[in-house]
Amino acid sequence: MEDWKKLCPLADIPRLGSRVVKSAAGDIAVFRTADDEVFALHDKCPHKGGPLSQGIVAGKVVTCPMHSWKIQLENGEAMAPDVGCARSFAVKLEADMVWITL
Amino acid sequence: MKKQKLVMVGNGMAGCRTLEELLKLAPDMYDITVFGAEPHPNYNRIMLSPVLAGETKFDDIVLNDLAWYRDNGITLHAGKQVTKIDRKARKVVASDGTEASYDRLLLATGSSPFILPVPGKELPGVIAYRDIADTEAMIEAAKHHSHAVVIGAGLLGLEAANGLKLRGMDVTVVHLADWIMERQLDKTAADLLQASLEAKGLKFLLGKQTSELVQGESGRVATIRFKDGTGNHAELAADLVVMAVGIRPSTALAESAGIHCERGIVVDDTLQTYDPKIYAVGECVAHRGIAYGLVAPLFEQAKVCANHLAHMGIGRYSGSVTSTKLKVTGIDVFSAGNFMGGEGYEDIVLSDPSAGIYKRLVIKGDLLAGAVLYGDTADGAWYFQLLKDQQSIAEIRDHLMFGSHHVGAYHTGDAGHAGVSQAAAMPDTAEVCGCNGVCKGDIVKAIKTHGLFTIDDVRKHTKASSSCGSCTGLVEQILASTVGGAYQPADTKDKPVCGCTDHSHGVVRAAIRDQHLLTIPATMRCLEWRTPNGCATCRPTINYYLISSWPKEAEDDPQSRFINERAHANIQRDGTYSVVPRMWGGLTTPDELRRIANVAEKFAIPTVKMTGGARIDLLGIKKADLPLVWADLGMPSGHAYGKSIRTVKTCVGAEHCRFGTQLSMTMGVKLEKMLYGMWAPHKVKLAVSGCPRNCAEAGIKDVGVIGVDSGYELYVAGNGGIKTEVAQFFCKVTSDEEVLEYSAAFLQLYREEAFYLERTCHYIARVGLDHVKKIVVEDAARRKELYERLLFSLQDYEDPWAAAVTQPAVRREYEKLEVL
C-alpha cells in the first residue's frame, strides 16, 4: 500500500532544522531533531498558514515563525492553549536516507 | 527503589501549589496522601468574595478538581481532619481513625479566623469569613434576613460587607480603629475609600468596640452591643454578624506533636520545621517571625519547599514584600511596603480630592519604601516592582509621582491600546491586546476560570501581551484587580529566561562569561536546563550571549536564529521575503539604482518602497530567489532583518546644506562602516544630523549624533517604535574619531550588559544612565577597551549575502527538495 519515495540523505537536513519538499499537495516541511529523528508536516501552520519549515525546532516541537504557535512534530497538533492541526506525512530513515510517502 | 511517602495535612492553596511544584520537579519520587478538613478539592479562596458578590460561581473557583488528584496518583481524604501526629511512628491519625504513615510530612493547615471573646459569640447567625461554608451561610442569610453587621474593616471585612450589600442586605461595618483598613492604608486614603463605599450604601461605625451579641426570640442573634469610650452602651439590630477581625495560624496540631511554634509553626529558609522530616508552608507558618496572610508569598514558599522535598536543595525563601489591592468592583485602592513613613522617611504626596485621587509615596534615601494609591492605581505594579527590586530612584525621583509613563521605564510600550491606562475603568469589550485581539473580558474570564496568578499564566492562556508586549502594564493591572492581594508582579531581576530554566538572563550571561562556555549544549548542561535542546525563546538568547561574549571562539548556530536572521531576509505574512540592500549612510549611486531597478523587473518584485531608515525595500521575493537577487544586486546585506546594526540615517549636512555645521553624511558612512555586521541584544539604529535642526531625527535613535559648530553632541537610548522615547544627552565631543570611539564603546557596553531583546532605552532604564556614563564618558581606559573589543568582534565580518551567492553549502538553506 505505502508508496515510499526517496527524498534525500539525512545530512542534507540540518540537525534541529528542516527542508522544504515540493509536492502536488503543496509544500511539505521535513524536520530533523537533535536525535536524528525525522518528521514531515504540511508546511502550513493551522493558525494563519505560516511556513512551519522556517520555525525553530526544539525537542519534538516546531515554533511557527509567524505568531509562535507551537506545533508537535509527531502528529501536527498545536500545543495548548492553541487548537489546530497540520497534516502529517509518514517518513522513515533507512541507511541515512530519508524516505517519504505522499 | 521504593517510593517514599509524603503526607500533606491541609488541602488549601499553599499546600496544593507545593505539590504542583513538586510534581513538576520530581513526578515519581513520592506516594502522596492529602488530608483536607473541608469536603472539597482545592479551591481559590481569594475568589470567595466574587462568589459572595454574585460575580462568579463556586464551580468556577476550583483550582484542582478531583481528576487532578487521581491523575497524579494522589490519595485524597477530603472532609477528614487530622487530629494527631505520631512523630515516633511517623504517622498521622484523622478524627475518623484513618491513618497514614510518612517519610516526609508537609503541614499546610492554614489559619483560622479570630473570634472575639464576647458573650453571644456562639449564637446562630454569628459566623466568620474563611471558607465555602461561611460564604454559603452568608448567601443563605441574605435571602431571609436584612440586618448584617460586619465586625472588622480590613480587606476581608470590606469585601464581605460589599458582597452582602449587593445581595440586598442593610450592612454596617463596625471597626475598632479610627479609620478603615488601618493596616493597609493611611487615614487620607481610608477616608476616600470609606466615602466611596458609603456611596455604595455601606454604613460605618468607627472606634467601636463590641461588648456583646444578644439573642433574639427566634434563638438567633438579634442585636450587637458596643462599649464606647465613656462606658455608655449603644446597640444595633443584627441578624447576621460576620467576624472579620483577623486570622490566626492554625498551629494546634503541630503544637500537640511538640513541634516548635511561636506565632505560627516556626520554619527556616527551606520551610523545614524543627523536626527535619516535617515541612510546613502557608498561613500556618512563621518565617523569620512573620506569618503571611496573602497568597503571593505563600506561593513563593511553595516553590522553595517543593525544591527541598525533591532533594534539589538549592531554593531559599528569604521573606516577601507584600502589596494589597481591594477586590471591590469599581474601587481602585493599592498599598505596599511601609506606607506610613516615620523618622528618616520622606513623603511625596499628590492629593486631588474632587477627582477622587490620592497618592502617597514613602521614600528612604534613594529607595522607595512604600506606596498608597487611591483612585488611580495604574502605577501600583510599577511602584511595587521598584520596592521589591530595591532599585534606586535617585535619577527618576522628580518624575516618580507621575508614574511609569513619565519615566518611561517600566511599560515596554504605549501604542496599541488607544492610550488607555486604567484597567478598572475599561469595559469588558475593550481591546487590551491590539496584536492578538484580546479583550478585557476574555482576560478576566481566563483568570477566574483557570485560577491564574501571574502575567505568564495569562499570556499562555489568552495570548494577551505575548506579541509586542506593549500592553503588559495593562494586563498586569487587570490581573491585579481581578486577583487582588494574590497578585505578585514577576521579579524582573530574577525572571527566568523561559520555561526551560529557573535561571535569569543575568545568571546565564555570567555563567557563559565566567565559565568560558562556547556552545549552546555546554551552556545548557552547565546550567542544568530542563529541556534537551531548549525552545524558541532560550536558544536565540543563549546564541547571542555566546557570540557576543566570545567573538571568534563561539560558533554562531543558524538553527538557533529566528528565521529572518537565518535566511538574512525578512519573512512576510505570505511566506515571501523582503530584501533591503545596504546603502552606507543612506547614500546610493545611479549604478546601484539601475541594478535595483533591473532586479525588480527581472524577478517581478511586486512592491518597491522606501523604509523608515531611508533605504530601498524590495518586497515579495520567494525564498529560492533570494541568492539570485543578491547575486544580481551586488550590494551587501542591509541587515534590516536582524537584532543588529540596522541603519545610520543622515541629513545632507555641511556637504550641501546652507545650515550644516558638520559633514553628517561622511560621519554617518564612517559610523555605519565601523558597525557593519554588529549583532546586538535588539535592533540598533543611529542617525547623524549636521546641525541642531536635526533633520535626521537623531532624538529617537539608539545613538543620535548632532553636529554643532564646535563638534558633536551625542545622545543615547532614544526609541521611535514600540515605546516612543526621546534620547538622553550623553556627552559632547569634538572630532569624528571621538564620535566613533564613544558610540562604539556605548554600543559595546550595551552588547555586553543588556539582556537579549532589551532595546537601549530599556537597558538604560534598568541600569541607569549614570552607570553607563561612568564607564564610557568618565573612564578613558575602559572606553578604549570597549572600543577595541567591538572592533575585534567585527573584524573580518563576511557579508552573509555574498556567502549565500558563492558557497553552495550556505545556499542549501534556500533550495527546495524534490521527490525522486
Verify whether the Cβ–Cβ distance B819 to A22 is below 8 Å.
yes
C-alpha closest to that of A19 among A2, A4, A35, A41: A41
Mean predicted confidence (pLDDT) in B623-645: 96
Q: What is the pLDDT of residue B465?
A: 81
Three cell numbers written together for B269: 529558609
Strands of B745-814 (E only): list them. Answer: none
Mean predicted confidence (pLDDT) in B93-122: 95
Does any domain span residue A32? yes
The mean-pLDDT minimum among B171-175, B315-319, B627-631 falls in B315-319
Backbone angles phi, psi at B100, to 5 degrees: -150, 130
The mean-pLDDT minimum among B417-426, B626-635, B652-661, B776-785 falls in B417-426
Report the mean per-residue pLDDT for chain B: 90
* Residue pairs spanning A and B at CB distance below 8 A: 85
B224 with B293, same domain: the answer is no
pLDDT tens digits for B123-155?
Answer: 999 999 999 999 999 999 999 999 999 999 988
Q: What is the pLDDT of residue B502?
A: 87
Interface probe with B: pick from A27, A54, A60, A64, most Cβ of B within 10 Å: A54
Asked if residue B414 has pLDDT above 60, the reply is no
Does any domain span residue A4? no
Q: What is the pLDDT of residue B170?
A: 95
Is A51 near chain B, with CB under 8 Å? Answer: yes
Rounded to whole angstroms, how far apart are CA atoms B388 and B383? 9
B79 with B218, same domain: the answer is no
C-alpha closest to that of A96 among A22, A16, A38, A20: A38
B672 with B781, same domain: the answer is yes
B208 with B305, same domain: the answer is no
Mean predicted confidence (pLDDT) in B378-385: 81
What sign results for the dihedral spanned by CA atoms B689, B694, B695, B699? positive
User: How does DSSP assign B74-114, residue by residue?
Assistant: -EEEET--EEEEETTTTEEEETTS-EEE-SEEEE---EEE-
CB nearest to A58's CB, from B461, B531, B819: B531
Task: Check residue B211 and report its DSSP letter.
Answer: E
To the nearest whole Å, the CA of B93 is away from the closest chain A CA by 41
B55 with B147, same domain: the answer is no
b/e per residue, B760-793, with b = 16+ CB within 10 A?
bbbbbbbeeeeebbebbbeeeeebeebbebbeeb
Q: What is the pLDDT of residue B486?
A: 62
B685 with B773, same domain: the answer is yes
Asked if residue B487 has pLDDT above 70, the reply is no
Verify whether the Cβ–Cβ distance A58 to B573 is below 8 Å.
no
pLDDT tens digits for B721-780?
Answer: 877 889 999 999 999 999 999 999 999 999 999 999 999 999 998 888 999 999 999 999
Report the mean per-residue pLDDT for chain A: 93
Q: What is the pLDDT of residue B450?
A: 82
Q: How many domains does chain A have?
A: 1
Q: What is the pLDDT of residue B230?
A: 57
Q: What is the pLDDT of residue B99?
A: 95
Does any domain span residue A43? yes
Does any domain span residue B328? no
Q: What is the pLDDT of residue B386?
A: 85
Nearest chain B residue to A64 by CA distance is: B536
| Edge-to-edge order in the sheet of strand A17-22 | A88-89, A38-42, A28-32, A17-22, B817-818
Q: What is the pLDDT of residue B435?
A: 75
Domain coverage including residue A64: 14-92
B140 with B193, same domain: the answer is yes
Mean predicted confidence (pLDDT) in B387-416: 72
Distances (CA, A) of B657 to B115, B138, B589, B686, B806: 82, 79, 19, 20, 41
Q: What percent of chain B has pLDDT over 70?
A: 95
Rounded to whole angstroms, how far apart are CA atoms B204 and B128? 19
Does any domain span residue A19? yes
Mean predicted confidence (pLDDT) in B536-556: 96
Q: How many domains does chain B have?
A: 4
Chain A residue numbers touching B819 (CB-CB < 8 A): 5-7, 21-23, 100, 102
Mean predicted confidence (pLDDT) in B375-384: 81
Does any domain span residue B234? yes
Q: What is the pLDDT of residue B339?
A: 84
Chain A residue numbers touching B560 (CB-CB < 8 A): 16, 56
B79 band by pLDDT with thresholds 50, 70 and 90? very high
B219 with B256, same domain: the answer is no
Q: What percent of chain B has pLDDT over 90?
A: 68
Q: B197: domain CATH number?
A: 3.50.50.60
To the nearest whole Å, the CA of B31 is away from the closest chain A CA by 28
Does any domain span residue A7? no
Chain B residue numbers touching A83 (CB-CB < 8 A): none
B175 with B266, same domain: the answer is no
pLDDT tens digits for B650-703?
Answer: 999 999 999 999 999 999 999 999 999 999 999 999 999 999 999 999 999 999
To the nearest whole Å, the CA of A52 is away from the closest chain B CA by 10
Verify whether the Cβ–Cβ distance A27 to B816 is below 8 Å.
yes
Q: A62: domain CATH number?
A: 2.102.10.10
Rounded to whole angstroms, how far apart are CA atoms B370 and B687? 41
B745 with B661, same domain: the answer is yes
Verify whether the Cβ–Cβ distance A22 to B560 is below 8 Å.
no
Does any domain span residue B100? yes
Interface probe with A: pick from B564, B641, B819, most Cβ of A within 10 Å: B819
Asked if residue B512 has pLDDT above 60, the reply is yes
Backbone angles phi, psi at B222, to 5 degrees: -130, -25
Q: What is the pLDDT of residue B24?
A: 87
B219 with B254, same domain: the answer is no
Q: B691: domain CATH number?
A: 3.30.413.10
Does any domain span residue A3? no
pLDDT tens digits for B270-305?
Answer: 999 999 999 999 999 999 999 988 788 888 899 999
Does any domain span residue B228? yes
Whether the CB-CB separation of A21 and A28 falls below 8 Å is answered with yes
CB nearest to B535's CB, from A12, A51, A58: A58
Asked if residue B637 has pLDDT above 80, the reply is yes
Whether the CB-CB separation of B246 and B155 falls below 8 Å is answered with no
Rounded to whole angstroms, how far apart are CA atoms B820 and B810? 23
Q: What is the ipTM of this complex?
A: 0.95
C-alpha closest to that of B760 among B725, B792, B789, B787: B725
Q: What is the pLDDT of residue B412?
A: 45
Verify whether the Cβ–Cβ distance A7 to B817 is below 8 Å.
yes
Does any domain span residue B451? no
Selected residue with higher pLDDT from B418 and B645 = B645
Distances (CA, A) of B549 to B460, B645, B677, B680: 32, 17, 15, 11
The cell 555574498 sits on which residue? B802
Q: What is the pLDDT of residue B60?
A: 82
Interface probe with B: pick from A56, A61, A102, most Cβ of B within 10 Å: A56
Nearest chain B residue to A44 by CA distance is: B575
Does any domain span residue B93? yes
Compute the half-sphere exposure of residue A82: CA atoms within 13 Å on the CB side of its CA. 23
Rounded to whole angstroms, how far apart are CA atoms B480 and B455? 10
Rounded to whole angstroms, how far apart are CA atoms B747 and B744? 5
> What is the three-class DSSP state of B44?
coil
| Edge-to-edge order in the sheet of strand B170-175 | B126-128, B240-243, B147-151, B170-175, B203-206
Rounded to whole angstroms, how far apart are CA atoms B170 and B153? 16
Query: If phi over 0 gives left and psi between -120 and 50 gives alpha, with beta otherwise, what is residue B152?
Result: left
B411 band by pLDDT with thresholds 50, 70 and 90? very low
B85 with B139, same domain: the answer is no
Rounded to whole angstroms, how far apart are CA atoms B218 and B220? 5
> What is the three-class DSSP state of B472?
helix
Does any domain span residue A85? yes
Q: What is the pLDDT of residue B96?
A: 94
Asked if residue A93 has pLDDT above 90, the reply is yes
Asked if residue B66 has pLDDT above 70, the reply is yes
Domain coverage including residue B269: 4-110+249-309
Q: What is the pLDDT of residue B356?
A: 83
Rounded to whole angstroms, how far apart are CA atoms B470 and B513? 31
The mean-pLDDT minimum among B7-21, B471-485, B744-758 falls in B471-485
Three cell numbers written together for B532: 534537551
The mean-pLDDT minimum among B8-17, B321-330, B385-394, B692-701 falls in B321-330
Q: What percent of chain A has pLDDT over 70?
A: 98
The mean-pLDDT minimum among B61-75, B108-122, B227-241, B692-706 falls in B227-241
Mean predicted confidence (pLDDT) in B94-102: 95
Verify whether the Cβ–Cβ distance A20 to B817 is below 8 Å.
yes
Distances (CA, A) of B638 to B379, B635, B678, B750, B799: 40, 9, 12, 21, 10
